[in-house]
């Protein structure tokens, strides 16, 4: 019996620090290793020019943030989700994230032609508040939907949108507005509007994620169509006004959506369009030269020509060096994150953890697919990074934070002592 004791101690160590969905842990580890390989290969020459000959500068920077992200992930996944499921705590986190997001409009740092970052004083590190705000939004939306599982499928999501409709039954419309519209849709509107001004694609991904959460959270399909129609009309009007008064990046959005040819273009917009065309042209060359097996690690010929091969076009760089096989494996890993999230979702006995896991998995998967579609030139240039792979600080940490929440819930759903109140059940 003595020889088995060290083995038991080792098992206890892994159960404590790496509990939860083991498949998901493996996927995260593979993506992290792939990130280091991609970053070292794609940034070596750039680091040599900008970091005084230190070819490992960006590699070590990425390694630092991956280690920090893993530390946050391990810490978060040990927290009982019921501790952060309280409405007051989630409201505080959401308001804090929103305030950071609003600060970008006043003291934001401009990187890559967009002011989306805040620089932390003293240490000089920048982070993107939208990553924090998205996680906070998904959490508070999951909480609001969980509270209303007994009646949300019977109630309208929006009150009457006409004056005549309000006059017919003002008490009912006011009740819908205060009990459903503001608590459920209010955070979505506020968060997406704050993100929308500086980052159209992130706002769109966030809204689509919330829309699916509403559908799974028992909101009627008819109500969702009303919401989509209202958002579409509002977005068209907002973009038109912003375009007319040259607010934010509206000219860039119009150009990337393919409708800029119908309108007059400024020199800045023309330059942006030419830059986008150049990026996608170089991405096509990288993908075409990759073939089935790729050129091999470190053998890329497009690293100097492909803009942002370490971030926005990381997937195109992967195709060049690792070929169609490597690209397919990368897509498979992100789809596995989504499917493992679905497995955890189905095991949840209550609405809040299930919807939280679903929302976080959708957020990560949508972002990854968006990056891939841009890299293979099937989608306009958006600036979306490849989660856990692209070079980044805050994106790595907040992605690990989201994965830590998913792992924490997957750990807890395996325990037999879960409290499953009937009023929040997604399965009954």
User: CA-CA distance, 266 to 188, in Å (whole number)?
Assistant: 33
- Give the per-residue pLDDT at 234: 86
Residue 266's pLDDT is what?
A: 54
Top pLDDT among 127 and 4 is at 127
Would you state the pLDDT for residue 416?
A: 40
Burial class of residue 286 (count of CB atoms within 10 Å of its CB; 0-12, 13-18, 19+):
buried
Q: What's the pLDDT score for residue 309?
A: 79
Bigger pLDDT: 55 or 212? 212
Q: Dump pLDDT digits (tens) for 19-50.
A: 878 899 999 999 999 999 988 888 877 777 77
391-425 core/surface letters (b: 16 or more CB in 10 A; e: else): bbbbbbbbbbbbbbbbbbbbbbbeeeeeeeeeebb
In this prediction, residue 212 carries a pLDDT of 95
pTM for this structure? Answer: 0.86
pLDDT reading at 367 higher than 70:
yes
Confidence of residue 290 (pLDDT cuts 50, 70, 90): confident
pLDDT of residue 282: 79
Backbone φ/ψ region at 110: left (φ over 0), alpha (ψ -120 to 50), beta: beta
Can you give the pLDDT at residue 162? 79
**pLDDT one-digit tens code per residue, 199-236:** 888 899 999 999 999 999 999 999 999 999 999 888 88
Q: What is the distance between the alpha carbons of residues 379 and 203, in angstroms, rounded to a whole number?
A: 16
Mean pLDDT over 373-391 rounds to 84
**CA-CA distances (angstroms) from residue 164 to 21, 160, 228?**
53, 8, 22
Q: pLDDT tens digits for 111-124?
A: 555 556 676 665 55
pLDDT digits (tens, 9 = 90+) for 329-341: 999 999 999 999 9
Predicted local confidence at residue 273, as pLDDT: 54
In the chain, % of residues over pLDDT 90: 36
Query: Using an 8 Å Cβ cutoff, are 313 and 283 in contact?
Result: yes
Tell me what the mean pLDDT of segment 226-249 comes to: 78
Question: What mean pLDDT is predicted for residues 291-318?
Answer: 81
Would you say residue 421 has pLDDT above 50?
Answer: no
Q: Is the predicted pLDDT of residue 261 greater than 70, yes or no?
A: no
Q: Please, which pLDDT band fits residue 150 given cuts at 50, 70 and 90?
A: confident
Mean residue pLDDT across the chain: 81
Q: Which two tokens stand for residue 132?
A: 């924090």
Please report the pLDDT score of residue 165 as a whole number. 79
């Amino acid at each position: 019996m003595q020889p088995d004791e060290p083995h038991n101690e080792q098992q206890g160590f892994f159960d404590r620090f790496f509990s939860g969905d083991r498949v998901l842990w493996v996927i995260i580890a593979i993506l992290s290793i792939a990130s280091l390989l991609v970053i070292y290969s794609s940034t070596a020459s750039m680091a040599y020019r900008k970091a005084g000959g230190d070819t490992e500068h960006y590699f070590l920077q990425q390694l630092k943030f991956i280690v920090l992200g893993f530390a946050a992930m391990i810490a978060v996944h040990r927290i009982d989700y019921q501790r952060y499921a309280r409405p007051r705590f989630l409201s505080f986190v959401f308001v804090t994230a929103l305030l950071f997001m609003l600060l970008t409009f006043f003291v934001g740092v401009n990187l890559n032609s967009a002011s989306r970052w805040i620089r932390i004083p003293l240490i000089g590190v920048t982070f993107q508040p939208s990553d924090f705000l998205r996680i906070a939004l998904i959490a508070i939306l999951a909480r609001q939907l969980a509270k209303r599982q007994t009646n949300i499928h019977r109630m309208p999501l929006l009150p009457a949108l006409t004056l005549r409709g309000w006059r017919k039954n003002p008490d009912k419309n006011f009740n819908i507005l205060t009990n459903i519209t503001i608590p459920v849709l209010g955070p979505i509107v506020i968060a997406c509007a704050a993100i929308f001004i500086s980052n159209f694609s992130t706002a769109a991904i966030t809204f689509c994620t919330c829309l699916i959460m509403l559908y799974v959270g028992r909101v009627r399909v008819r109500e969702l169509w009303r919401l989509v129609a209202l958002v579409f009309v509002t977005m068209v009007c907002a973009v038109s006004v912003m375009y007319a008064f040259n607010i934010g990046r509206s000219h860039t959005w119009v150009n990337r959506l393919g409708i800029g040819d119908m309108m007059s273009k400024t020199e800045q917009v023309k330059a942006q369009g030419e830059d986008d065309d150049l990026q996608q042209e170089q991405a096509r060359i990288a993908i075409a030269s990759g073939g089935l097996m790729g050129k091999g690690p470190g053998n890329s010929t497009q690293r100097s020509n492909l803009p942002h091969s370490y971030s926005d076009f990381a997937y195109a760089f992967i195709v060049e060096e690792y070929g169609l096989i490597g690209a397919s494996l990368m897509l498979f890993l992100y789809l596995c994150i989504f499917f493992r999230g679905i497995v955890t979702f189905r095991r949840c006995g209550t609405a809040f953890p299930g919807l939280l896991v679903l929302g976080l998995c959708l957020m990560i998967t949508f972002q990854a697919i968006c990056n891939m579609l841009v890299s293979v030139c099937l989608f306009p240039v958006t600036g979306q990074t490849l989660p856990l792979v692209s070079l980044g600080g805050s994106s790595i940490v907040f992605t690990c934070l989201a994965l830590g929440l998913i792992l924490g819930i997957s750990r807890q759903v395996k325990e037999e002592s879960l409290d499953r109140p009937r009023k929040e059940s997604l399965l009954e």
